[in-house]
Amino acid sequence: MGKISTFLLSAMMVVAIMGPAQALGFQEETNDYNQYSGEVVDESTNKPLVFATLAVEGTNISTISNTEGNFLLKIPKNVISQNVIVSFLGYKSKTVPLSQLSEEGNKISLEISVTQLSEININAPKDATALVRETMAHRDDNYFENSTLMTAFYRETIKKRRKNVSLSEAVVNIYKTPYDSNRDDAVELYKSRKSTDYSKLDTVALKLQGGPYNTLYVDIMKYPEYIFSPESMSNYKFWFDRSTRINDKLIYVIKFNQLESVLEPFYQGELFIDVENKILTNANFSLNITDRKKAAELFVRRKPARVNVWPTQVSYRVDYREKNGKWYYGYSSVTMEFKVDWEDKWFNSIYSMNAEMAITDWENNMTGELPRNRERIKKSIIMSDEATGFSDPDFWGEYNIIEPEKSIESAIKKIQRQLRRTERNSD
């Protein structure tokens, strides 16, 4: 279980924001794409829909909305007559022609998909545990059977209460092996940038170890050994909760929790399963942290002697997408909250860490070759140590990203202002 996410707490580290002269030398990007921005909302309540998927029909280009429902979509200019398919769990998918979108201010509303009660009783499975086992057994039939080269956007944030302490972003190449293969996926770092302000961290520096691998291992259909291995399945109880729809398909929601007799920390959450085809389309789950000492042992790799650190929340999400009848990993996130308690202080500190990754494009990897070891990023990577500063406004070029939240966007703008001042003072 500990492999899904690891947490590193080390002694105080002073990090200066890098000036423009220290940043990577980026190549000039040509503006051969159209950019569209807007928000996805509930049609009746106007509330934002978080992590809605926007996919360009006839291509492998996609993105998702952020936690405020906002999206940013970049599409090559030679793709002008296609549609954007907007989908969200429990809502009717909407097809929007690109010709109807403007560069910004687009508001896309989705209608709730109502499930008729009569549908629920047709060929309804009776045993939730058996359905989960059958879904896992059908993995090789329903998920990508070919090697793929995926482009993904990765973002990692650390906050002390509500203040951004560390922010890292990257475009990575994922060499995804077939779902029926025992070979691990490989990750190659393409572009990255970061900001770290340790002045807000009291006397400790928090770092997330593993980078994109933290999110990649949440792909439980590729890595079932981290949660639903044949041996660990007996540690859980499963039961039917409700039904919903996704892409106009009837989905059963199965809840699960570890048995009361199991003392080690396992997981609890929800699985969204296409009953007819035995496909896991989404999953939300969290670690049982009743025993905070055992939970802390899974994440805290190193800490000062006079500090106690324990998790108060560890949750995961994974979404899959469909292409030509086959499903593949599309998005995942890891959210962790920790308390840091110094023995000689009256008050403890609360830190939250979030990592998310979205597949924005992919192509078949016909040879199935993986990058050489020296070209891969290590599973022990700490992104905030590897990336450079926020200095180039055109850094991402035509690559799709997850639109930043307002708080993150404000932090980036503040960093860029500081860099400009540093550049002026050095002239």
**Is residue 120's pLDDT more than 70?**
no
Q: In whole angstroms, how far apart are CA 162 and each of 41, 109, 248, 345, 351?
A: 25, 30, 38, 21, 9
| Percent over 70 (pLDDT), the chain | 82
Residue partners of 198: CB distance under 8 A and separation at least 6: 12, 13, 14, 15, 165, 205
What does pLDDT average to over the chain? 83
What torsion do the CA atoms of 372, 155, 71, 165 make, to the nearest 10 degrees?
Answer: -160
Q: Is the pLDDT of residue 205 over 90?
A: no
In the predicted model, is pLDDT for residue 23 greater than 50? no
pLDDT reported for residue 197: 64
Q: Are 352 and 336 in contact (CB under 8 A)?
A: yes
Order of strands across the sheet that contains 148-160: 186-196, 163-176, 148-160, 349-364, 326-342, 307-323, 279-287, 267-274, 249-258, 236-246
Q: What is the pLDDT of residues 385-424, one digit of tens each?
A: 887 777 666 778 888 988 888 777 776 666 666 655 655 5
Report the DSSP pairing between strands 62-64 and 204-209: unpaired
Rounded to the nearest 5°, which phi and psi values hold at 387?
-80, 170
Q: Report residue 397: phi and psi, to 5°.
A: 55, -130
The token pair that represents 174 in the structure block: 């994922």
Q: What percent of the chain has pLDDT over 90?
A: 47
Predicted confidence at residue 134, as pLDDT, reads 93
pLDDT in tens, 58-109: 999 999 999 999 999 999 988 878 899 999 988 999 999 999 999 989 999 9
Angle, alpha carbons 162-267-289 (nearest 5°): 55
CA-to-CA dists, residue 202 to 12, 58, 194, 205, 378, angstroms: 8, 51, 20, 8, 29
pLDDT for the residue 426: 56
Q: Which residue has the higher pLDDT, 204 or 363?
A: 363
Quote the pTM value.
0.86
Q: List Cβ neighbours of 13 (8 Å cut-off, separation of 6 or more).
A: 198, 205
Position 40 confidence tier, pLDDT thresholds 50, 70, 90: very high
Instruction: For residue 169, give both structure tokens.
Output: 């972003």
* Burial (CB count <10 Å: 0-12, 13-18, 19+), residue 87: buried
Contact between residue 318 and residue 282 where contact means Cβ atoms under 8 Å apart: yes
Cα–Cα distance between 339 and 291 in angstroms, integer?
A: 14
Q: How far apart are CA 276 and CA 21, in angstroms?
A: 57
Long-range contacts of 265-269 (CB under 8 A, 24+ apart): 265/1, 265/289, 265/290, 265/291, 265/294, 265/295, 265/298, 266/1, 266/232, 266/235, 266/236, 267/1, 267/227, 267/236, 269/316
Nearest Cα neighbor of 255 from 264, 267, 268, 266 is 268
